[in-house]
Amino acid sequence: MRQGDILWYELGEDIKQATIVPIADVHLGAEGSAWQQFYRFIDQIKGEPDTYVTLQGDLIDNGLKNSVTNVYRQTMRPYEQKREMAKALEPIRDKILCIIPGNHCRRSSKEADADPTYDIAAKLDLEDRYRESIAFIRIGLGKRTAGKIRDLKPHVYYLACMHGAGGGSLPGAGINRADRYLQALDGVDVFIHGHTHKPYALRGSKLVLDPANKIVKQRPTLAMCAGQWLDYVGYPVEKQLNPVALPGANKLVLFGDKYKFEAVI
C-alpha cells in the first residue's frame, strides 16, 4: 500500500446528501477526555443514514514517560486505551472512510516503531483504510443532470485528511497554515485537519485551467478543523491556555443533486 493511494468510494446515485464527520483529538485516557460525550456521539452516528466518519489522529492520549503528558493523571494505560477505542468504534466500523495517526500516536513510533492507531485499524479489520500521514479520498454520490438529459455520472468530491501540525495560542496560526497547505493540494476540494483543537471552516477558491474548453474555471475550496473531545482541566489550565470550543465535532455535507459542499460548525 503506497501512501498516495486514493481511497475510492461510490455512495450511490440515489443519495441526495452525505455527511462526513471528522473525528480527531479524543485523547481517550487523558485526564480531561470527554469520553462519555464521545461515546454518546458515536451511538448517535450509528443510527444516522448516509453519515460517515474520518478518524484523524490522537484518538487516544498514549501518554509515555518521555512525553509532556503526566502519565500519573491518565485514567487508563495505553494498551487499554487502544482496546477501548476499538470497542467504541466497532458499531460504526462500516462508516469509517480513513484512519490516520496523530502526534500522540507517533510517540510510540519513535520509541519502538509501533503505531497504536494502526493497531486500532487492525482490530477493526480496516488496515486498508489506514494512512501514515495523509489520506486522499474520492467520494462519488448522486448523479449529474444536464437539462432534461440525464447523465449517470456522479458528483465527485476529493478530500485530503490529516492530523495536522503546528501550534500557537491563537487560531489564526492554524488557519493560515492549513490555507497555505491547501494551495499545494491540486484537485482537492476540502482539506480537513485536527491537532489545534480549534474548530473552524474557511471558504476559498482556486483558478483551474480547462484546456479542453479553452476556459479558466473558479472552483470553490474549503479548509476546516475537526472538533476536539477534551474538557478544560489539567495541562491547558496550568499553561494558561484559553479554553477552546466545547467537546464535539464539525461536519462536512456533500450534495448529490448538485456540485456543492458546506461545513456545519
Give the per-residue pLDDT at 250: 95
> Residue 225: which pLDDT band, with cuts at 50, 70 and 90?
very high
Domains of the chain: 6-264 (3.60.21.10)
In tens, the pLDDT along 7-55 reads 999 999 999 999 999 999 999 999 899 999 999 999 999 999 999 999 9
Q: What is the DSSP string of 28-62?
A: BTSTTB-HHHHHHHHHHHHT-TTEEEEEES-SB--
Give the per-residue pLDDT at 1: 42
Of 2-6, 139-143, 222-226, minimum mean pLDDT range: 2-6
Query: What pTM, to 2 d.p., does this model score?
Result: 0.93
In tens, the pLDDT along 99-150 reads 999 988 776 666 667 899 999 999 999 999 999 999 999 999 998 876 555 6
Percent of the chain with pLDDT over 90: 74
| Residue whose entry in the numeric block shows the C-alpha cell 519513535 | 110
Give the per-residue pLDDT at 104: 82
Computed over every residue of the chain, the mean pLDDT equals: 90
Give the per-residue pLDDT at 84: 97
In tens, the pLDDT along 62-83 reads 876 666 666 767 888 888 999 9
Give the per-residue pLDDT at 72: 63
Q: In angstroms, rounded to a whole number, what is the distance separating the alpha carbons of residues 246 and 250? A: 11
With the CA atoms of 194, 196, 198 and 203 taken in that order, what torsion angle do they form, in degrees rounded to the nearest 10? -60
Strand partners, 8: 138
Q: In angstroms, rounded to a whole number, what is the distance separating the alpha carbons of residues 259 and 17? A: 11
Q: In angstroms, rounded to a whole number, what is the distance separating the alpha carbons of residues 42 and 47? A: 9
